[in-house]
Amino acid sequence: MSHLADEIRRRRTFAIIAHPDAGKTTLTEKLLWFGGAILMAGAVRARKSGKHATSDWMELEKQRGISVTSSVMQFPYRDCMINLLDTPGHEDFSEDTYRTLTAVDSAVMVIDSVKGVEAQTIKLLNVCRLRDTPIVTFVNKLDRDGRPPIELLDEIESVLNIECAPITWPIGMGELFRGVYHLYDDTISFFDPKAEKGTAEIIQGLDNPRLDELIGEQAEELRLEVELVRGASHTFDLDAYLAGRQCPVFFGSAANNFGVQSLLDAIVERAPGPKPRPAESRAVDPFEEKFSGFIFKIQANMDPKHRDRIAFLRVCSGRFERGMKIRQVAGGKSIAVNNAITFMARDRNTTDEAYAGDIIGIPNHGTIRLGETFSEGENLRFTGIPSFAPEIFQRAILRNPLKLKQLQKGLQQLAEEGAAQLFRPISSNDLILGAVGNLQFDVVAHRLAHEYAVEAIFEPVSVATARWLHGSDEQLKLLADKYPQNIAIDGAGDQVYLAPNAVNLRLTQERFPDVRFMETREVR
Ligand code: G4P
C-alpha cells in the first residue's frame, strides 16, 4: 500500500453530538486523556468553567459556560490519527454545529441516561442523516439512577428512527452500577469510581464464578438480562452502521472515565475513514493524489493581539504540504500556504503535512469564504454545505454614532464568518442582522464590543423572513424599483427580499413570477 493511502486510511474524523449537559465536554476531555493527548483530565472542563484559558478564545464561552466556537483536536491513538471536531452544544446556536457536521466522517451521540433523547439530539441526528453519517451512541451517567436501558434503546429507535445494537450492557445503575458486560467479547469490566481509569478489574465469561463473588445477586440478574437483550435487540451489523441505519451502543460514565476506552477503541476499529465527497462535476475520492478540500468554518480574531482570521479546511483528497500552492477555485487565484495550522489538544502547531480527513487552518485577511473549495488546480466545487434561512431579524443600533465605520466593518466580518447574516437595505442606512437563534445576537454584540470596540444593541425590526432573489437583471431591477424598502444586499453582495409577513411575500412573488425567491443563499 502506498504511503498516501496508508495515511488516509488511518484517519478518523468525527464530532460528538449531544443535547447540552449530556456530557459532551466531559467525554471530549476523557477521549483526549485516554488518547494520551492531555496529561491530566480537567483541562477541557476547566476551559468551560473558565478556570484557565487553554484554547479559550472567547471570553463569552467562560461567561456563559458554553462553547460557542468549534475547535479541532488531533491526536494519534493506536495506529490511527484522530481528528475530533468540537461543536457548540447550545440549542440556540447551531449553524456552526451543522456546518461542522459536514466535515466529519462519523459522529458519537451522547445520551443522558436520566433524560433520554432530548430536543437537540433529534435536530442534530437529523443533520447527520442528511449525509447518512455513521453514529456510535454513548449512554452516559450510568452512575445516576437513570431510565431502564431497554427503555432508552426503545426511545432512540422510535424517536430517532435508527436501529440500536448494544455492544456493552450495563450492570445495575446509580448506587448499584457495577460495570458493563461486553456482548461480543464476553468480558465484564467492573466499575470503580476510585480506580484511575474507572475500571477495577476485567474478567472473562458470564459464567465466571468471580462474577458472583464480586457482585452477588446481581450476577444472576445480569445473566437473565443478557439472554433477554440478545433475543430482543439487533445484532451489530457493520454495513448497517456504515450506512447510518444502525448505531452500536455503549454504556458508561464519562465523568468517572468508565466506558470511554471501549468507545475510543470502537471508533478506531469500526468508524469509517475518509469517504468520497460529492462535488458539482464528480465525486472526489479521498485517495486521489491531488489535494482538495472545502472551508466549513471561519473564525476571526482568535488571538486578539493579531487580527487574524482562520479558515478551517477539511482535506477531502490527497495530501497537503506546507508551502504548497493551492487554488481558491471561486476566485481562480492560487495561494502559497506557508502558515497553515493544525489544532493539537494543547496549542496550535505549524502544519508540515495533512492528509484527506484532516483539518487545517488557513490564516487570511477575509479573503476566504465559508463553503469555498480549494484544489490543486481543478475546477472543483464541493456541494452539501448547508446555508440557513434566518428566522429572527434585528437592527443594530449604535450607542456612539461616530463609530458607524467600525460597526459596519465588524458586522461585515462577523457575517463572513457565519456568526450571523447581514442585510443592508438599499433604501436606508440600517444594518439588519438575521439569525437562527437569539444567542447569536448576544455573541455578535459581545464580539463587537471586545474585538471592534463598538457598543451596539439590537432591536426588533419588522422583517419576518428573507428570500434570496434569482432572475434576470431586468426583472431584479423592476422588483427593486417597485419595492425599494424591501430589498437588501447581504454580506456576500447578493440581492435579498425582506418580507414583513407571509402575505406580503406571497403577493410579491405573484407579481414577479419570473423571479425565484430562494429560502437560503447558496454556499459554494
Ligand atoms: P455538555 O458539554 O454536554 O454540556 O456537558 P458537560 O460535559 O459539561 O456535563 C454536564 C454535567 O454533567 C456536568 O455537571 C458534568 O460533570 C456532568 N457529567 C458528565 N458526565 C457525567 C457522568 O458520567 N455522571 C454524572 N453523574 N455526571 C456527569 P455540572 O454539575 O454541570 O458541572 P461540574 O459541577 O461537574 O463541573
Q: Output the tens digit of pLDDT for each of the chain's 524 residues.
A: 689 999 999 999 999 999 989 999 899 989 988 888 766 555 455 555 544 333 333 444 444 333 334 478 888 899 999 999 987 655 555 677 788 899 999 999 999 999 999 988 998 898 888 889 999 999 999 999 999 999 999 999 999 999 999 999 999 999 999 999 999 999 999 998 888 777 888 999 999 999 999 999 999 999 999 999 999 999 999 999 999 999 999 999 999 999 999 999 999 999 999 999 999 999 999 999 999 999 998 877 655 555 667 889 999 999 998 889 999 998 889 988 888 876 554 445 555 789 999 998 888 887 888 889 999 999 999 987 766 778 899 999 998 888 899 999 999 988 887 788 999 999 998 999 998 878 889 889 998 998 899 999 999 999 999 999 999 999 999 999 999 999 999 987 889 999 999 999 999 999 999 999 988 776 54
Residue minimizing CA distance to atom 31 of ligand 1: 21
Is 481 annotated in some ligand binding site? no
Q: From CA 371, how far away is CA 382, in angstroms rounded?
A: 8
Contact yes or no for 426/493 (Cβ under 8 A): no
Q: Is the CB of 22 inside a 6 Å radius of any atom of ligand 1?
A: yes
Closest atom of ligand 1 relative to the 110 alpha carbon: 3
Predicted local distance difference test score (pLDDT) of residue 1? 62
| CATH ID of 16-65+107-270, from 2.40.50.140, 3.40.50.300, 3.10.450.50, 3.20.20.10 | 3.40.50.300
**Cβ atoms within 10 Å, residue 290:** 13
Cα of 326 vs centre of ligand 1, distance in Å, is 43
Query: If you classify domain 389-522 with CATH, what class do you get?
Result: alpha beta
Taking domain 277-375, whether its CATH number is 3.40.50.970 is answered by no
Is 414 annotated in some ligand binding site? no
Is 351 annotated in some ligand binding site? no
Give the mutation target among 21, 61, 144 for probing the ligand 1 site: most ligand atoms within 8 A of CB: 21
Predicted local distance difference test score (pLDDT) of residue 344? 53
Q: Is the CB of 26 inside a 6 Å radius of any atom of ligand 1?
A: yes
Cα of 44 vs centre of ligand 1, distance in Å, is 12
Is 194 annotated in some ligand binding site? no
Contact yes or no for 32/345 (Cβ under 8 A): yes
For residue 419, CA distances in Å to 119, 464, 495, 497 come to 22, 19, 20, 21
Predicted local distance difference test score (pLDDT) of residue 465? 93
147-155: long-range contacts at Cβ-Cβ below 8 A with a sequence spacing of 24 or more? 147/113, 147/114, 147/116, 149/113, 149/173, 149/251, 150/229, 150/232, 151/116, 152/111, 152/113, 152/116, 153/233, 153/249, 155/116, 155/117
Would the CA dihedral through 60, 295, 97, 461 be positive or negative? positive
Cα of 516 vs centre of ligand 1, distance in Å, is 47
Q: Degrees (nearest 5) of the Cα angle 73, 79, 83?
A: 15
Q: From CA 103, how far away is CA 100, in angstroms rounded?
A: 5
Closest atom of ligand 1 relative to the 258 alpha carbon: 23
Contact yes or no for 447/410 (Cβ under 8 A): yes
DSSP letter at 259 equals: T
Q: Is the CB of 144 inside a 6 Å radius of any atom of ligand 1?
A: yes
Residue 478 exposure: Cα atoms within 13 Å on the Cβ side: 13
For the chain, the straight-line distance linking the first and the last C-alpha, in angstroms and rounded, comes to: 34
Q: From CA 266, how far away is CA 53, in angstroms rounded?
A: 31
Q: Is the CB of 89 inside a 6 Å radius of any atom of ligand 1?
A: yes
Predicted local distance difference test score (pLDDT) of residue 161? 95
Q: Is the CB of 259 inside a 6 Å radius of any atom of ligand 1?
A: no
pTM: 0.82
Query: Could you tell me which residues come within 8 angstroms of residue 228 by beta carbon, excluding any fewer than 6 positions away?
Result: none
Predicted local distance difference test score (pLDDT) of residue 347? 47
Q: Is the CB of 18 inside a 6 Å radius of any atom of ligand 1?
A: yes
Predicted local distance difference test score (pLDDT) of residue 8? 97
Q: From CA 34, how far away is CA 343, in angstroms rounded?
A: 18
What value of ipTM does the predicted structure carry? 0.98
Is 13 annotated in some ligand binding site? no
Strands 246-251 and 163-166: parallel
Predicted local distance difference test score (pLDDT) of residue 123? 83
- Which residue bears the cell 406571497? 506
Is 141 annotated in some ligand binding site? yes
Give φ, ψ of 408 to 5 degrees.
-60, -45
Question: What are the residue boundaries of the structural domains of the chain, listed by start?
Answer: 16-65+107-270, 277-375, 389-522
Q: Is the CB of 109 inside a 6 Å radius of any atom of ligand 1?
A: no
Q: From CA 300, how far away is CA 310, in angstroms rounded?
A: 6
Give the mutation target among 19, 26, 28, 142 for probing the ligand 1 site: most ligand atoms within 8 A of CB: 26
Q: What is the 3-state secondary structure (H, E, C) of 162-206?
A: CEEEECEEEECCHHHCCEEEECCCCEEEEECCCCCCCEEEEEECC
Residue minimizing CA distance to atom 20 of ligand 1: 255
Q: What is the 3-state secondary structure (H, E, C) of 52-89?
A: CCCCCCCHHHHHHCCCCCCCEEEEEECCEEEEEECCCC
Q: Looking only at Cα atoms, what is the longest distance across the chain?
A: 85
- Do 16-65+107-270 and 277-375 agree at the fold level? yes
The burial class, CB within 10 Å (0-12 / 13-18 / 19+), for 350 is exposed
- Please tell me whether residue 438 adopts helix, strand or coil conformation: coil
Q: What is the 3-state secondary structure (H, E, C) of 368-418?
A: CCCCCEEECCCCCCECCCCCCCCCEEEEEEECCHHHHHHHHHHHHHHHHHC
Residue minimizing CA distance to atom 9 of ligand 1: 23
Q: Is the CB of 61 inside a 6 Å radius of any atom of ligand 1?
A: no
Q: Which three cell numbers stand for residue 326?
A: 493551492
